[in-house]
Amino acid sequence: MDYSQLEAYLLAKTEAKLEYPFAPDVPVFKVRGKMFALVGWREGQMFINLKCQPEQVDALTDIFPAIHRAYHMNKRHWLSLYFDGSDAEQQVFGLIDNSYNLVVSSMSKSVQALLRN
């Protein structure tokens, strides 16, 4: 997957915004000011950090060698998926949806209703 495809999917989320709070080469995707995805490159390889339930982080890191506890994030609640051409890449859209929904679920019920329509 290339970055432009990934960015398009992330920005298609309701009220998703792209910001660069850390560095000009570290895109961060937020909804209502809360981060749900961060894209980076490490040793020339693209990765995405996504919020995830702790039990899912454990399971996914056991199943997919390209999924790790998140690089520079809370390792209990965030994972890193490296785009290395492996089967893990097939999980990325579902993991993005999950991350977005986890962030939205922490917001008020009225905001959740707006974002989920």
* Reported pTM: 0.93
Q: What is the pLDDT of residues 66-78, one digit of tens each?
A: 999 997 788 889 9
Q: What is the pLDDT of residues 30-61, one digit of tens each?
A: 999 999 999 999 989 999 999 999 999 999 99
Instruction: List the one residue out of 3, 101, 102, 91 whose CA is nearest residue 47.
Output: 3
- Which one of 3.90.1150.30, 3.90.1150.170, 1.20.210.10, 2.30.30.230 gives the CATH number of domain 3-115? 3.90.1150.30
* Cross-strand partners of 51: 78
Q: Is the dihedral of CA 82, 83, 88, 90 positive or negative?
A: positive
Residue 1 has pLDDT above 90, yes or no: no
Question: Whole-number mean pLDDT of the chain?
Answer: 93
Q: Compute the C-alpha angle 31/44/72, nearest 5°.
A: 45
